[in-house]
Amino acid sequence: MSEEKQHITPYATYIWILAALLILTFATVAITNVNLGPLSVTTAMLIASIKATLVLLYFMHLKFDQKIYRFMTTVVLLVFFMVIIFTFFDYLFR
């Protein structure tokens, strides 16, 4: 299949995304310095997931690619998370 109209991401977009990523990074560092107990892990992982999503969608171009790539990535990550959950069915209830 030939590329019809190539999507070209402007340089500025990448700079904005980096800015967001850096802000989120420093936010994580700041938040984890506050003792939130078990919520710390959750918050840190949530922010990490947001960062990862930005990298996937913009740096890795998923936002502008054909839908199938977003679909596959989502399914892979979903299956992986479910495997972790199923493993915890053992350890959580021992």
Partner 1 sequence: MTDTASSQLNFFEEKGGRKGLWAWLLTTDHKRIGLMYMYVILTFFIVGVLLGLAIRLELIAPGQTIMGPQTYNSFFTLHGVIMVFVIVIPGLPAIFGNFFLPIIIGAKDVSFPKLNLFSWYLFMSGIFVVLISLFTGGGPPDTGWTFYAPYSFKTTTNMLPMVSGAFLLGFSSILTGLNFIVTVHRLRAPGMKWMKLPLFAWAIYGTGWIQLFATPIVGITLIMIVAERLLGIGFFDPALGGDPVLYQHLFWIYSHPAVYIMILPAMGIISEVIPTFARKAVFGYNAIVVSTMAIAIVGYFVWAHHMFTSGMSTTAQFIFSLMTFFVAIPSAIKVFNWVATLYKGSISLQPPLLWALGFMFLFMIGGFTGLILGALATDVHVHNTSFVVSHFHYIIFGGMGSAFFAAMHYWLPKMYGKMYNIRWANIGFGVFFIGFNVLYFPMLILGIQGMPRRYFDYLPQFTSLNVASTIGSWVMAIGLAIIITNLIKGARSGPAVGDDPWGSKALEWTIPSPPPLENFDVIPDFTETDSHKS
Partner 2 sequence: MESHTHPHIHRDDQASKLGMWLFIFTEILLFGGLFIVYSIYRYMHQTAFHLAGEELNDTIGTINTVILLVSSMTIAMSITAMQKGNLKLVMQLIYVTVFFGLIFLVNKYFEWQVKFEHGLYPSSKFVQNLGAGDTLFFSLYFMMTGLHALHIIVGLTVLIWVAVYIKKGRVHQTKYAFLENGALYWHLVDLIWIFLFPLFYLIH
Binding site for partner 2 (CB under 8 A): 1, 3, 6, 8-11, 14-15, 17-18, 21-22, 25-26, 28-29, 32-33, 35, 38, 40-41, 44-45, 47-48, 51-52, 55-56, 58-61, 69, 72-73, 76-77, 80, 83-84, 87-88, 91-92
CB 42 within 8 A of CB 32: no
Distance CA 32, CA 35 (A): 7
Chain contacts with partner 1 (rule: CB under 8 A): 76, 79, 82-83, 86-87, 89-94
Distance CA 74, CA 17 (A): 21
Q: How many CB atoms lie within 10 A of CB 22?
A: 11
Distance CA 38, CA 53 (A): 23
The binder of 6, among partner 1, partner 2, none, by C-beta within 5 to 8 A per type, is partner 2
* 11 vs 86, beta carbon nearer partner 1: 86
